[in-house]
Chains A and B, each alone.
Chain A
Amino acid sequence: MQTALPIILCSLTCLVLIISHFIPHEANTVVFNQIKGNWYAVIKVAGYAIATLAVLRSHIRRLQARTTDWQYSAVALVCFLVFPLTYLFDNIRENNGLFVTTTFSDSDITDTSVLRDATVQLEPVTGETYSGKVFKIDGKKRRLTVKLDLAISDLGKSGQSLRIGEQSLQLSLGETTIIPSKLMPVKRRGLFFQGLGRPLSIKKDGVVTSWVYDNVVSPLDTTMFALVAFYICSAAYRSFRVRNFEAGVLLATGIIVMLVNSPPTSLIWDGAFPAKTAVDQFFVDKALINLKDWLLAVPGQAASRAILIGGALGLVTQSLRVLFGIERSWLG
């Protein structure tokens, strides 16, 4: 059963995908696309969770066993934990809300049900009106809490008449005054992790995540990529040799493409071989560019297509083997 169940599940998934792709009936398109979309999302998220645990486990084991270069595992673990923590930290900051709490009398609010999901306005004695949602109504204690549609970072900006602390506010619903002007405390409260579960985003005030991304992730990644130039030069110097005809053709092609991709080459060529007629322009003036374009568009494309088709055929073969349960290496 341990082997049969995953194979059945895998084969069924393959069949669903094949049917949805090759039978373009409307029913298939609607039903299977829905399934396909949700399945992908579920598998992807589950994959992230499993991969996270696998990476953590692998590095923790290396640390425990003190294997060769275990120090890198320690660095990897620290980095692995720090970046998600910055995101969580930013979410906590983001979800810190501004709240106004006040008590009300029976004459202020007779029917509390109208306040649920309604947008209310808070009007200071002077200055602009602020809107918010009723967050909590405590009927017994006659207490009302409003969450303002305003971030803490907005406070203190020019033109803001609202501040943290007690101030005289009037609460109204539309044009109806619910609580006439009275002292109400404006407080900040944290709502931990309220924003999780939405698409990954680096928000305007996602300060910590943005800082780590801009100053650590991005420079490190760019540096690693830039180092490739050094390795390519060193490797080309040591091992790119014309040992036979094929290697000679490869080297000549590479040199032509590299040289023509450098703008001064054309200028030097034009200076050395000035074109006098229209025929010259094609065969002499643009000879190098035409040669490069031909190399990319004809032999290059032929090789690309061969690789593309070869890869596709290999993929089909392998997929059929998985579909029929012949290929089982993916079971682990």
Chain B
Amino acid sequence: MWRKLLSLNTRYIYLAIVVMVVIPVILKVPLPTSPSEPTQKLFDHIDTLEAGDGIWFFLDTRPATTAIHRPQLHVLLHHCFSKGIKVVGFNPLAPEATGMGRPFIQEIAVQYGKQEYTDWAYMGYTPAGLAVFNAMSKDIKGLYSQDVTGKAFDEIPVLQQFRKYSDVGLVITLAGLKTPGYWVRYAQTPYKFPFASGVTGPMIADQFPFLNAGQMVGMMGGILGAAEYEGLLKSNNIRKQFGIASASMFVQTVVHYILVAIIILANIATFIINKQDEKDRQTRDVARARIDSGIE
């Protein structure tokens, strides 16, 4: 039985995952979380900003991580727009993200009656590579002549207030690529500004050296980080309901439990099979020894 279990057709595992993912997606049951320290620090930092202050966010990612970065950006925007903080977005390191930023902001901006160009703007991609880190310390006009909709830089009021790192209260990268390290090395360290990151699950461990060194003021780790932030928004009466991130936690929880269960099951099966094989080998050895010594 254990051997059959170990040689189980992969398709059955895939089927189990599909079923266990689809059901929570349909049910959309939010799971409340308690905030981790990096998420709490990020929330606290944004909470200290005042109406009229600004933040820059960078989508250093691809559409692949939409399921993680859309909820992360949404919780940030809920917090910022509810406090009257202005937001400008960019994706200079990831051309694939050009189509993501503006619709993501629009979804939340309409809920708070925030106007494009006066309360928020999305600038898109510009082919400057790593030179953006340096150029943004002086004036973003050197990089962008217009925003993603084609509106001229000088005609966008929100950009006139926030033209370099020192003008904004926070720079945050929502990264699916290895860019938080670049930001720390080439931008935060030389130009000293409050910096944070929103990353995918596998990247969380890489951010701790920067967090503990004070180079990042906070971090949102994966969909869990977004769910923790949603919990903070609710407990601080900024939002009344949990959002998509808390609902996604149900899916993640189910998949995590399946993964843990099948790993433990496979290890138990391997352990039992190894014991059986060992026992069989010993029996065979004893039998061979008897034959060799002429007992039988």
Contact = CB atoms under 8 A, between A and B. Distances in A.
A233 B209 contact: no
Closest 6 CB pairs between A and B?
A: A40-B131, A225-B64, A262-B253, A218-B63, A213-B99, A221-B63
Interface of A: 33, 36-37, 40-41, 43-45, 48, 94, 195, 198-204, 209-210, 213-214, 217-218, 221-222, 224-226, 229-230, 232-234, 236-238, 240-242, 251, 255, 258-259, 261-264, 266, 289, 293, 296-297, 300-301, 303-305, 308
Nearest to B36: A293
Nearest to A248: B267
Contacts of A36: 131, 134
Contacts of B257: 259, 262
A94 B212 CA distance: 49
B127 A240 contact: no
16 contacts: A195-B150, A199-B126, A199-B145, A218-B66, A221-B62, A221-B63, A222-B66, A229-B255, A232-B259, A238-B266, A240-B266, A251-B263, A263-B249, A263-B253, A304-B208, A308-B181
A177 B262 CA distance: 83
A300 B209 CA distance: 9
Nearest to B138: A33
B32 A263 contact: yes
B135 A37 contact: yes
B117 to A, nearest CB: 12
Interface stretch (B10-18, B73-81, B107-115): B10-18
Contact of B212 (A224, A263, A266, A301): A301
A213 to B, nearest CB: 4
B64 A224 contact: yes
A203 B63 contact: no
B82 interface: no
Contact of A296 (B33, B208, B259): B208
A44 B127 CA distance: 7
B294 interface: no
B149 A214 contact: no
B205 A44 contact: no
A96 to B, nearest CB: 14
A308 B180 CA distance: 13
Contacts of B264: 255
B203 to A, nearest CB: 10
Contacts of B266: 236-238, 240-241
Contacts of A232: 259
Contacts of A222: 63-64, 66-67
B42 to A, nearest CB: 16
Nearest to A298: B208
A264 B66 contact: no
Given A222-B66, A222-B67, A237-B262, 10 more contacts: A200-B126, A201-B146, A217-B96, A225-B65, A232-B259, A237-B265, A251-B263, A259-B260, A263-B31, A300-B208
A233 B208 contact: no
Contacts of A238: 266
Interface in B95-133: 95-96, 98-100, 102, 123-131
Nearest to A239: B266
Contact of A262 (B17, B65, B256, B263): B256
A233 B31 contact: no
A54 B9 CA distance: 41
> Which has the most chain A C-beta neighbours within 10 Å: B129, B135, B270?
B129
A182 to B, nearest CB: 33
A143 B204 CA distance: 66
A63 B95 CA distance: 28
Contacts of A263: 31-33, 227, 249, 253
A242 B271 CA distance: 9
B145 A261 contact: no
A242 B267 contact: yes
Contacts of A41: 127-129, 131
Interface in B234-259: 249, 252-253, 255-259
B186 to A, nearest CB: 10
B123 to A, nearest CB: 8
Nearest to B103: A214
B8 to A, nearest CB: 8
Contacts of B227: 263
B154 interface: no
B13 A233 contact: yes
Interface string B130-166: 1100110000001011111110000000000000000
A301 B216 CA distance: 14
Contacts of B142: 37
Contacts of A303: 205
A133 to B, nearest CB: 14
B167 interface: no
A202 B99 contact: yes
Nearest to B8: A237
A65 to B, nearest CB: 30
Contact of B63 (A217, A255, A262, A300): A217
